[in-house]
Amino acid sequence: MGKVEPVLHPNPVVSDHLVKENKLKQLWTVFKKDKLAVVGLVIIVLVSFVAIFAPFLAPYDPNLSHGSKRLLGIGTPGHLLGVDEQGRDILSRLIWGGRSSLLSAVLPIALMFGVSLILGLVAGYWGGKIGEGIMRLLDVLFAFPTVLLAIVISAIMGAGLVTIMVACCFTMLPYMTRVVYTSTVTEKTKEYVEASKILGATKFQIAFKEVLPNVISDLIVYSTTLIGVAMVLGAGLSFLGLGVQPPTADWGKMTSDGMKVLTIGAPHVATIPGLIILVVATSFNWLGDGLRDVFDPHKRTQ
Amino acid sequence: MLTYAIKRILAIIPILLGVSFLVFSIVYLIPGDPAVKILGQAATDEAVAALREELGLDKPFFVQYGIWLADILTGNLGTSITMRIPVESVLIPKLINTLILTAGSLAVCIIFGVLIGLLAGLKPYSWFDRISMFFAQFGANVPVFWLAIVLMWILSIQLGWLPAFGMYDMRTEGSVLSTLQHLILPSIAAASVSLAVIARLTRSSLIDAFNSDYVKTFRAYGISERKIIFKHAFRNILSPIINMTGLQIGSLIGGALFVEVVFSWPGLGSQIYTSITGQDLPMIQAGVLFIAACFVIVNLINDLLVAFLNPRLKH
């Protein structure tokens, strides 16, 4: 099979179905060019797979203590990444820990995706008193450094996985809404909106049928990057003891547990989970950058 | 300029009111009787009743808020539950320590961020540029608490170059040199995220400036490269750098909260952390209020500075 060149200007006679397929292929061709984005996607898929199938992939029960093997180092036979301060296999805990770390980052962003889209569109398109009200309310949330707001929410709700997710929702919502708001305000002045108005479309129709498809790509790109941010934030809250409670494995909590044995010569216990957080969070960043190229028509035609 | 400044200063009043309202509501958002929460489950009924009256819990919600706000504005932040002393006497020294740490990390991120960005931007795609930008890629997502642990392990536990805990030695308490030594590692850790952001911005702004028409014109006139860089290009990229630095203050403060816990730095972050563990509500409220107020004021200063430096941004 020869290499298929992407069709940049599809023949207008071909069927809709074919055009759609070509468009996807074309987008993939653009995405593929960004090597880091592909690396990011591969890492995310791999880590998600491992987390989902943790019961089948983890070599040991993550909470099982191998008593006498406490604090064994990396590369110990039978324990690839060593053993922690309570004699538990670090690799198994990493595999299981991916569940809470991924869930506490992806779910809040997914939930807030819809909320921020509506709030941003309403504030940006309708403006007026409602829009003003929404944006002033967000200003108050912006007045807290992200971590502090998350800590306040955790203090109110008590420690737990749900707490971390709620904290992530509230801290990420203002940023996501502002992205939608800014794009909406820009789109509002464009010609197609004027045209729809002249054709007699209602405000609701224009906002949700015309403007929405044009602002959603910005939000998709931004949200992907924010998943990485939320993951680091959630891990930080777990690190402070505000997240999942022991003995459940969690990357942030593993780091703080490992910190206690840092001074007695077992640096791997604290540093491995943090390194994983860094790599996975950065992968979401790379994926976001790749998606930006895909959605940016100027880049696409280059 | 003056009207902008006045407008901008007035705009923080509703924000601060909103912040104070949210902080005040913390007590009521926690399920259960606030008086019981404050005194603990072991409190006697009389004590709870006395505190309910003292706190004015029998009054309507908004009246309570008004009284609380008036107290705060007159400098009465309440009494710590665990320490039984006025909150402000604990928090003000801690606030100063946090500001010292934030100032340290601000210095690190500006000096090294701009320096690395300039060196990388002057010679794009050189080995220095590639290496520094590779690390800067990760910078935005580095978990600060993890970096703090890594730095502590390498530079203080393994090499013994810098102290790992606290703000000064027990023997030389209060010595400036000792505090500076203790400040280095926490500052670097707290600055990491912002340092990466500023380095990337400086690099890209410098490259943009070099490709701009005014630099090309200067070159055509034969003005020396050094003069172009420091007298013209640098002045033009200064404004976006200052703006970005201002936006990073939140991340610096947030970073400081984690770093304080790792390095046992006696600041607001450690205090809020301890207070959450001890359910010391007045302490949490006042601590959060302090940090949020600082943050709002720093943002204000930044906006005014940016407007002052760049007349085009006045509106």
Amino acid at B111: I
Burial of residue B207, with CB atoms counted within 10 A of its CB: 0-12 exposed, 13-18 middle, 19 or more buried: middle
Residues of chain A with C-beta less than 8 angstroms from the C-beta of B196: none
pLDDT band at B122 (very low <50, low <70, confident <90, very high): confident
Rounded to the nearest angstrom, the minimum Cα separation between A151 and chain B is 9
Q: Which residue in chain B is spatially nearest to A36 when comparing CA positions?
A: B137
Segment among B58-62, B132-136, B249-253 with least mean pLDDT: B58-62
Please provide residue A76's backbone torsions phi and psi, each rounded to the nearest 5 degrees. Answer: -65, 135
Q: Please tell me which of the candidates B16, B152, B276 has its beta carbon nearest to residue A262.
A: B152
Helices (H) and strands (E) in chain A, counts: 13, 0
Q: Which residue has the higher pLDDT, B38 or B51?
A: B51
Radius of gyration, alpha carbons of chain B:
24
Other Cβ atoms less than 10 A from the Cβ of B165: the count is: 12
Q: Say yes or no for a CB contact (<8 Å) between A140 and B15.
A: yes
pLDDT on residue B173: 62
* Token reading at A63: 């909470």
pLDDT band at B169 (very low <50, low <70, confident <90, very high): low
Q: Say yes or no for a CB contact (<8 Å) between A235 and B258.
A: no
User: Is A123 near chain B, with CB under 8 Å?
Assistant: no
End-to-end CA distance of chain A: 26
Max mean pLDDT among A23-32, A39-48, A198-207, B85-94 falls in A39-48
pLDDT tops 80 at residue B176: no
pTM equals: 0.84
pLDDT on residue B166: 73
* Token reading at B72: 């705060």
Q: Say yes or no for a CB contact (<8 Å) between B23 and A270.
A: no
pLDDT tops 60 at residue A236: yes
As a whole number of angstroms, the distance between CA B70 and CA B65 comes to 9
Nearest to B284 by CA among B29, B101, B64, B66: B29
Query: What does each C-alpha distance from A222 to A280, A285, A287, B72, B198 come to in angstroms?
Result: 16, 9, 10, 39, 20
Q: Please tell me which of the candidates B143, B250, B276 has its beta carbon nearest to residue A236.
A: B143
Residues of chain A with C-beta less than 8 angstroms from the C-beta of B18: 136-137, 139-140, 143
User: Is A288 near chain B, with CB under 8 Å?
Assistant: no
pLDDT on residue A240: 85
User: Is B26 near chain A, with CB under 8 Å?
Assistant: yes
Tens-place pLDDT, residues B97-106: 888 999 999 9
Tens-place pLDDT, residues A166-210: 999 999 999 999 999 989 988 888 888 888 888 888 888 888 888
Amino acid at B269: G
DSSP one-letter string for B158-216: IS--S--SSSS-STTTT-HHHHHHHHHHHHHHHHHHHHHHHHHHHHHHHHHHHTSHHHH
As a whole number of angstroms, the distance between CA A209 and CA A213 comes to 7
Q: Please tell me which of the candidates A235, A259, A285 has its beta carbon nearest to residue B149.
A: A259
pLDDT on residue A1: 41
* Token reading at A42: 């591969």
pLDDT tops 60 at residue A299: no
Could you give the count of Cα atoms lying within 13 Å of A164 in the half-sphere of its Cβ?
A: 30
Query: What does each C-alpha distance from A132 to A40, A120, A122 come to in angstroms?
Result: 38, 11, 10
User: Is A245 near chain B, with CB under 8 Å?
Assistant: no
Mean pLDDT within B185-203: 91
pLDDT on residue A301: 46
pLDDT tops 60 at residue A7: no
User: Is A232 near chain B, with CB under 8 Å?
Assistant: yes
Rounded to the nearest angstrom, the minimum Cα separation between A241 and chain B is 9
Tens-place pLDDT, residues A101-130: 999 999 999 999 999 999 999 998 888 888
Tokens 């949490």 sit on residue: B284
Question: By three-state DSSP, how is residue A37 classified?
Answer: helix
Rounded to the nearest angstrom, the minimum Cα separation between B221 and chain A is 34
pLDDT on residue A169: 92
